[in-house]
């Protein structure tokens, strides 16, 4: 009887080893999946931040040569449609922001949208999951610059103010004020005392992520 029990224990030992090995493998696999999930999450966060950085940079800068003080009604319509925003440096901002999040970025500007793809410097590391070892996290994100406002009334033009008693021939004209309607609110822009564009832009435009 004792010999039989020892035999049974001897037969159960290999099974015990197999079960423990299986549990160990499952634990390592779960750890690898969790690690991959963290890397993917980091990549998505970096992509979202980089896309928003690109859109905000475009919103905060006008194309060179635009003078709000002399802009006429047609120019204001273009501006409020987002057609006078400067996308030239936006992708640089996206790449810089991705670098701060330990990732590299490629950027596709197409006003009013900016699509960014990032690849993380961090990898999943060694993994028991086939094909997962050393993989970098990748993700895409798109941000859009949306106008909140539309052009309202434009006051009749008045001669531009000149320091000289006799204005030079061909002196420009500027509207006394521009009325801008923003979702129930009415803003008045004084061409004679223009606000910095980076401040005004945050009232006129919203920046958000899109699917």
The string of pLDDT tens digits covering residues 171-205 is: 455 666 889 998 878 888 888 787 888 889 999 99
Percent of the chain with pLDDT over 70: 66
The SS3 call for residue 188 is strand
pLDDT tens-digit map of 6-53:
455 555 556 656 555 555 555 554 445 455 566 687 889 999 999 999
Task: Tell me the C-alpha distance between 57 and 186, whole Å.
Answer: 25
What is the rounded average pLDDT for all residues in the chain?
77
Within a domain: residue 163? no
Within a domain: residue 157? no
Q: Which residue has the higher pLDDT, 46 or 156?
A: 46
Task: Tell me the C-alpha distance between 42 and 32, whole Å.
Answer: 15
Q: 8-12, 68-72, 75-79, 102-106 — which is least confidently predicted?
A: 8-12
Within a domain: residue 4? no
Within a domain: residue 58? yes
Nearest-10 Cα torsion for 71, 76, 77, 82: 120
Q: What is the pLDDT of residue 18?
A: 58
* Number of domains making up the chain: 1
Within a domain: residue 182? no
Per-residue pLDDT for 92 more than 90? yes
Within a domain: residue 70? yes
- Domain of 79, in residue numbers: 28-125+132-147+196-202
Distances (CA, A) of 6 to 11, 16, 20, 30, 206: 9, 15, 21, 36, 77
Instruction: Please choose, from the candidates 56, 58, 119, 120, the residue with its C-alpha nearest in 3D space to the C-alpha of residue 89.
Output: 58
Within a domain: residue 48? yes
Do β-strands 113-123 and 136-147 pair in parallel, antiparallel, or remain unpaired? antiparallel
56 confidence band (pLDDT: 50, 70, 90): very high
Q: Output b/e per residue, 93-131; b: 16+ Cβ within 10 A.
A: bbbebbeebebebebebebbbbbbbbbbeebbeebeeee
């Amino acid at each position: 009887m004792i010999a039989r029990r020892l035999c049974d224990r001897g037969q159960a030992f290999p099974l015990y080893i197999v079960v423990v090995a299986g549990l160990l493998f499952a634990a390592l696999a779960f750890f690898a999946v969790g690690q991959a999930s963290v890397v993917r999450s980091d990549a998505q966060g970096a992509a979202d931040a980089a896309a928003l950085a690109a859109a905000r940079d475009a919103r905060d800068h006008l194309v060179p040569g635009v003078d709000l003080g002399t802009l006429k009604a047609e120019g204001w319509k273009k501006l409020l449609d987002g057609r006078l925003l400067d996308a030239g440096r936006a992708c640089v901002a996206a790449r810089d922001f991705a670098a701060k999040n330990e990732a590299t970025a490629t950027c596709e500007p197409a006003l009013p949208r900016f699509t960014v793809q990032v690849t993380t410097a961090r990898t999943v590391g060694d993994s028991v999951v086939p094909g997962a070892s050393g993989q970098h996290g990748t993700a895409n994100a798109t941000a859009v610059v949306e106008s909140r406002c539309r052009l309202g009334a434009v006051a009749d033009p008045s001669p531009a103010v000149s320091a000289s008693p006799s204005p030079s021939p061909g002196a420009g004209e500027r509207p006394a004020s521009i009325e801008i309607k923003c979702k129930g609110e009415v803003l008045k822009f004084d061409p004679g005392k223009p606000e910095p564009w980076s401040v005004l832009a945050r009232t006129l435009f919203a920046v958000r992520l899109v699917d």
